[in-house]
């Protein structure tokens, strides 16, 4: 137990649960923890603890846009100064991602952009997002010398509102950025699923492997979950205000979730996993990857491609 190493060598921290968008595919508006920023002291505790247990990277987004945290420079400045080798992964709409900022603090920037025209982009992302501003930020970032900019991945989520633009989006962005990915939607840990599947359907269910090998996810209020799709209390395995990562990783709450996943006891298990599409084959989820990624990988950085199932003991 003394040699505890975070399985994915990464931790996910919700710096901010504010978001300037209100995407048609996202439950952010219903999110109980929305519109808060993580306390600096909690952030420091998580980063110190994670690095002490093998983290080589932090993911600074869960349900929100970390770039909207007014304290982000102080937080990431702490990382750059104390842990210069610690990589920082950020997923964002890039609406507020200025070239100056990302050049200084971000190693891998994953940009969600779900349209190629103003009407479709703004109809899908909604909120206050402006197409021109996003494009200007992306172009500004790409104009930086390569060694001064993050690795840039662009993501397109296939939706009824934008599917007619997919090929055009691919043609525009694939030659410009380091990597592109086109995904189909997931069901947010079954958040809105009302139907109950018959028990027989669970014969083909299989662990998503996140409770064994995924990032521990720390939400703005310090709660820690085994997966990034939901802050649901039933997935909470501890709280970083009161505990350490090691206590949490070896605690009873995660053990119970792991037990259910290990024995495929999802039917009637009382966890969101029961209604989550990730326990069934989602080989269809990745529509296109310019780097031949596969479903079930965590891709925070070009050189840190990690399979969730690698963490299974």
Interface characters, 284-303, with ligand SF4 (x: CB under 6 A): --------------------
Choice from 6, 11, 15, 19 touching ligand SF4 (CB under 6 A):
19
Alpha-carbon span 149 to 99, nearest angstrom: 8
- Which of 21, 181, 236, 240 is the binder for ligand SF4 (CB under 6 A)? 21
- What is the smallest separation between the CB atom of 93 and ligand SF4, expressed in angstroms? 5
Per-residue contact flags (x/-) with ligand SF4 for residues 218 to 237, judged by CB under 6 A:
--------xx-xx-------
d(CA 262, CA 52): 28
Q: From CA 296, how far away is CA 41, in angstroms rounded?
A: 33
Binding status of residue 152 toward ligand SF4 by CB under 6 A: no
Are the C-beta atoms of residues 165 and 119 closer than 8 Å to each other? no
Is residue 50 close enough to count as binding ligand SF4 by CB under 6 A?
no
We find the least distance from the C-beta atom of residue 161 to ligand SF4, in angstroms, to be 13
Determine the interface stretch with ligand SF4 among 17-25, 71-79, 137-145, 280-288 (rule: CB under 6 A): 17-25
The residues, any chain, with a CB within 8 Å of residue 30's CB and separated by 6 or more, are: 191
Is 260 in contact with 269 (CB distance < 8 Å)? yes
Other C-beta atoms closer than 10 Å to the C-beta of 198 total: 7
Question: Partners of 302 in the beta sheet?
Answer: none
157 vs 14, 57, 165, 181, 286, CA distance in Å?
Answer: 22, 25, 11, 9, 10
Q: Choose which of 15, 51, 63, 224 interacts with ligand SF4 (CB under 6 A).
A: 63
- Contact set with ligand SF4 (CB under 6 A): 19, 21-23, 26, 28, 63-64, 93, 112, 189, 208, 210-211, 226-227, 229-230, 272-273, 276, 278-279
């Amino acid at each position: 137990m003394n040699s505890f190493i975070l399985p994915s060598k990464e931790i996910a921290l919700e710096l901010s649960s504010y978001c300037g968008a209100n995407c048609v595919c996202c439950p952010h508006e219903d999110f109980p923890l929305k519109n808060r920023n993580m306390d600096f002291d909690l952030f420091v505790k998580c980063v110190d603890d994670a690095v002490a247990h093998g983290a080589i990277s932090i993911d600074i987004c869960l349900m929100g846009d970390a770039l909207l945290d007014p304290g982000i420079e102080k937080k990431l400045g702490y990382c750059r100064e104390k842990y210069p080798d610690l990589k920082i992964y950020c997923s964002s709409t890039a609406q507020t991602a200025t070239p100056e900022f990302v050049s200084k603090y971000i190693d891998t920037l994953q940009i969600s952009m779900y349209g190629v025209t103003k009407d479709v982009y703004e109809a899908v992302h909604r909120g206050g997002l402006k197409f021109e501003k996003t494009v200007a930020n992306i172009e500004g970032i790409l104009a930086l010398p390569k060694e001064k900019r993050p690795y840039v991945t662009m993501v397109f989520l296939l939706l009824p509102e934008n599917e007619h633009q997919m090929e055009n989006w691919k043609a525009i962005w694939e030659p410009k950025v380091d990597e592109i990915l086109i995904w189909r939607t997931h069901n947010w840990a079954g958040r809105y699923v009302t139907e109950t599947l018959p028990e027989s359907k669970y014969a083909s269910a299989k662990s998503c492997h996140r409770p064994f090998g995924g990032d521990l996810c720390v939400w703005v209020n310090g709660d820690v979950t085994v997966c990034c799709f939901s802050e649901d209390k039933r997935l909470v395995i501890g709280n970083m205000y009161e505990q350490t990562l090691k206590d949490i990783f070896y605690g009873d709450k995660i053990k119970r979730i792991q037990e259910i996943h290990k024995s495929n006891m999802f039917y009637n298990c009382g966890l969101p996993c029961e209604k989550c599409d990730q326990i069934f084959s989602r080989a269809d989820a990745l529509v296109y990857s310019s780097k031949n990624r596969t479903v079930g990988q965590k891709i925070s950085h070009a050189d840190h491609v990690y399979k969730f199932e690698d963490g299974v003991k």
